[in-house]
Amino acid sequence: MAAWLVEETPEVDRAILIDGDRILAAHIALKGDDHPRLGAVLAARWHSPQRVNAGERPAAAILIDEHDNQLYLPRPPAGAGPGTRLTVEVVREAVWTPRSHKLAKVRVTDAAAAAVPSLPAILAAPILSPYQPDALEAAGWTELLEEAELGRVDGDGVRLWLDATEAMTLIDIDGTLPPEDLAVAGATLVARTIRRLDIGGSIGIDFPTVASKSARLAAADAFDAAMTDAFASPFERTAINGYGFMQVIRPLLRPSIMAIMRSRHAQHEHARRTHRAEYDGYLSAMPRR
């Protein structure tokens, strides 16, 4: 049965949903004062309006928290203005693409300021011991990070190419199988990849062109089956149109693993790989009792 495992470190927490020896889903939770976490309740002060509708209250505002992080607040409350202090909840962490950066998004709340619960508490998952062999690596952690970094995922007769744009994440299905088989196999691999790389927001999928509507329906059904289980996040999608394109929408709550591995935060993953390889080598060399 699938279960979450969590590794805690001072810089980031890592979680994998593992079934046997296969990672079904993964999540890297960035930590530190410079990255407000999803669910955190913060004290903030009004910094500036971002957009002002003529004759109306500001349509959006930029707030500043106690660590000088800028926060994006859509539709601030009536009467708020420069110097106003608000308590807000983070509903989306800061996210980015190669060419843009979106501030953490917040909403006003009556709750008391509080840090976000730990990842093990959120997932009801055990914490991995740093003094035991690397369970993440045994499940294929390095391969997952390489997929995120390269933007390429390989399956049996299928290859996916992933690109992050300002509007959406684009996934192209390529491969050597006959078109109808490739569409179904590609749909399954795309769904698994979205979950494994924690991709949210708008996602565009380019399928191989198939002649029949029934083939497109079979590919869409395969996608739904791979995206749906007790641990899956909600999603919406369009049908696969005659040109082979389908759009998927998932909640955008935090940066994807693909975004993390293409940013300065990737240094933590590279350092982890070196440290764990050295430590696991030490463990394997120890005499067994």
The pLDDT tens digits for 97-133 are 888 899 999 999 999 999 898 899 999 999 999 888 8
**Three-class DSSP category at 133:** coil
Tens digits of residue pLDDT in 136-147: 999 999 999 999
Q: Where are the domains of the chain?
A: 41-108, 133-257
| Alpha carbons within 13 A on the beta-carbon side of 54 | 0
Q: What is the arithmetic mean of pLDDT over 214-219?
A: 97
- What are the backbone dihedrals phi and psi of residue 225, each rounded to the nearest 5 degrees, phi first? -65, -40
Write down the mean pLDDT value for the chain: 91
- In this prediction, residue 6 has a pLDDT band, given cuts at 50, 70 and 90, of very high
Q: Is the pLDDT of residue 197 over 60?
A: yes
Q: What pLDDT digit, counting tens, does each position of 254-275 carry?
A: 999 999 999 999 999 999 988 8
- pLDDT grade, residue 284 (50/70/90)? low
Q: Are 205 and 153 in contact (CB under 8 A)?
A: no
Q: Residue 59 — very low, low, confident or very high, per pLDDT cuts 50/70/90?
A: confident
Going by C-alpha positions, the residue among 84, 83, 73 that lies closest to residue 36 is 73
User: Helix or strand or coil: residue 136?
Assistant: helix
Higher per-residue pLDDT: 225 or 57: 225
Q: Are 49 and 61 in contact (CB under 8 A)?
A: yes
Portion of the chain with pLDDT greater than 70, in percent = 93
- Give mean pLDDT, residues 68-72: 96
Q: Please indicate, yes or no, whether the overall pTM of this predicted structure exceeds 0.85.
A: yes
Class of domain 41-108: mainly beta
Whether the pLDDT of residue 153 is over 80: the answer is yes
Q: Residues 267, 272, 273, 278: is their CA dihedral positive or negative?
A: positive
Identify the band that residue 286 occupies on the pLDDT scale cut at 50, 70 and 90: low
Nearest to 190 by CA among 126, 142, 255, 237: 237
Strand partners, 249: 202, 236
Tell me the Ramachandran region of residue 125: left when phi exceeds 0, alpha when psi lies from -120 to 50, beta otherwise: beta
Contact 238, 9 (CB under 8 A): no
For residue 281, pLDDT beyond 90 = no
Query: Which pLDDT belongs to residue 99?
Result: 87
pLDDT at 51 over 70: no
| pLDDT value, residue 279 | 61
Strand partners, 72: 62, 105
